[in-house]
């Protein structure tokens, strides 16, 4: 992966900054955006000249393909500022590769590494003042691509727009998260698009998640579509279970997104001597472990919240409350990961990349 800036991207600067209007001590996730964005269009079978320009709305024809057939993919990553004011990305090559895997699955063009990486780096450098120091503070980065060709014919678009927008975030505590294990709905199916970070996967989750919310659960734990017996993901996060002192998580598959946080936590856990098993975890096994007291923790893992502890789950109308543990693996792993990301602890894995 290259972070060298071979080409300076054409940059149109905003005439003024919005930074003074932002209360950085009170950010709600993903709601504030910086002064600039990165944009590169795909036309006539090739990527056009990229540009960095002021963040602003843009016009699209009502027949624009993304509105009708949903060719839309995205990534979620973060940049951190250390005590020396240096800015760091965390495993950006993983997000870049996954973006193109998603693109291929959605019949969209792959973005060249030079465009993705130089766009990312130069945008972050330009809006560097928006990245705040201190644990929990980060810049959430949202690269995305949409089909911009027009006409409601149900074919893949010829034209696309790739953009990167930046949103400053601070750590958030998700509160008490109770989850419902899916007995009917599915997030993904074999042969489907579950392994792609496709916008449609999220749209499909909203309705069953709303139903769960009405019953008092914040999230759904998705099970496999064919049998609903295997535990797969928690909301839009990968999911880990601790039974006794072993950490369990499902292998990634066509139905389970290959999360960067997931694989990072697996490596971190192993490095501190935690026994990790990567295998299908059955609902019956979880219920059994909850009943006999060996189930200690469940947590979600993803870039946005890093680690999200779950306090209990419901299955077939029975609620199982997890024990309150003082020193959880969830917190131990989260602390270690955040320390590495914020350059407070040595990164022996080589995951952090300087902007």
Q: Locate the DSSP E strands across 44-137.
A: 46-47, 51-54, 72-74, 77-81, 87-90
From the list 12-20, 41-49, 124-132, 235-243, the region that binds ligand PLP by CB under 6 A is: 235-243
236 binds ligand PLP (CB under 6 A): yes
Instruction: Tell whether residue 268 is a contact of ligand PLP (CB under 6 A).
Output: no
Indicate the residue among 42 and 140 with the shorter CB distance to ligand PLP: 140
Q: With contact defined as beta carbons under 8 Å apart, do 204 and 166 qualify?
A: no
Cβ at position 187, least distance to ligand PLP in Å: 7
- What are 51's strand-pairing partners? 10, 39
- Determine the interface stretch with ligand PLP among 123-131, 256-264, 280-288, 290-298 (rule: CB under 6 A): 256-264
257 counts as binding ligand PLP under rule CB under 6 A = yes
Tokens of 27: 């950010």
* Closer of 237 and 283 to ligand PLP (Cβ): 237
Residue closer to ligand PLP, measured from CB, 104 or 318: 104
Of residues 336, 333, 37, the one with CA closest to residue 166:
37
123 Cβ partners below 8 Å, 6+ apart?
A: 36, 37, 38, 52, 164, 166
Q: In the complex with ligand PLP, which residue's Cβ is closer, 119 or 300?
A: 300
Q: Closer CB to ligand PLP, residue 52 or residue 164?
A: 164
**CB 198 → ligand PLP: shortest distance, Å?**
9
Residues with Cβ within 8 Å of 294's Cβ and at least 6 positions away in sequence, in order, are: 243, 244
Residue 307: HSE in the Cβ half-sphere, 13 Å Cα cutoff: 22
Among the listed residues 127, 224, 233, 338, the single contact to ligand PLP using CB under 6 A? 233
CB of 254 to ligand PLP, least distance (A): 12
Q: How far apart are CA 27 and CA 23, in angstroms?
A: 7
Our finding on whether 261 is near ligand PLP (CB under 6 A) is: yes
| C-alpha–C-alpha distance, residues 13 and 345, integer Å | 36
Q: Does 192 bind ligand PLP (CB under 6 A)?
A: no
CB-neighbour burial class of residue 60 (10 A; exposed 0-12, middle 13-18, buried 19+): middle
The pattern of x and - marking residues 293 through 332 that bind ligand PLP according to CB under 6 A reads ---------xx-----------------------------
**Which residues of this chain interact with ligand PLP, rule CB under 6 A?**
76, 197, 233, 236-238, 257, 259-262, 302-303
């Amino acid at each position: 992966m290259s972070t060298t800036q071979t080409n300076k991207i054409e940059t149109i600067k905003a005439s003024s900054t919005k930074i003074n209007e932002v209360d950085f001590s009170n950010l709600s996730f993903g709601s504030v955006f910086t002064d600039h964005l990165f944009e590169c269009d795909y036309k006539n079978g090739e990527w056009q000249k990229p540009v960095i320009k002021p963040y602003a709305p843009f016009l699209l024809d009502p027949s624009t393909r993304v509105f009708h057939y949903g060719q839309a993919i995205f990534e979620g990553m973060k940049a951190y500022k250390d005590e020396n004011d240096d800015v760091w990305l965390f495993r950006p090559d993983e997000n870049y590769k996954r973006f193109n895997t998603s693109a291929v699955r959605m019949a969209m063009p792959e973005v060249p590494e030079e465009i993705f990486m130089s766009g990312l780096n130069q945008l972050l450098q330009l809006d560097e003042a928006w990245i705040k120091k201190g644990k929990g503070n980060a810049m959430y980065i949202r690269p995305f691509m949409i089909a911009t060709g027009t006409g409601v014919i149900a074919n893949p678009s010829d034209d696309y727009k790739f953009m990167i927008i930046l949103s400053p975030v601070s750590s958030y505590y998700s509160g008490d998260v109770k989850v419902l294990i899916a007995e009917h709905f599915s997030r993904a199916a074999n042969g489907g698009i579950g392994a792609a970070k496709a916008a449609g996967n999220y749209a499909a989750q909203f309705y069953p998640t709303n139903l769960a919310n009405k019953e008092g659960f914040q999230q759904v734990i998705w099970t496999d579509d064919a049998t609903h017996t295997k535990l797969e993901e928690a909301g839009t996060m990968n999911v880990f279970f601790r039974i006794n002192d072993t950490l369990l998580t499902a292998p990634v598959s066509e139905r389970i997104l290959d999360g960067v946080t997931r694989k990072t936590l697996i490596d971190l856990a192993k490095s501190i001597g935690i026994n990790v098993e990567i295998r299908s975890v059955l609902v019956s096994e979880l219920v059994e472990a909850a009943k006999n007291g060996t189930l200690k923790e469940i947590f979600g893992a993803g870039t946005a919240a890093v680690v999200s502890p779950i306090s209990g789950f419901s299955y077939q109308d029975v609620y199982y409350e997890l024990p309150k543990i003082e020193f959880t693996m969830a917190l131990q792993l989260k602390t270690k990961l955040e320390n590495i990301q914020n350059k407070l602890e040595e990164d022996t894995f080589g995951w952090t990349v300087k902007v």
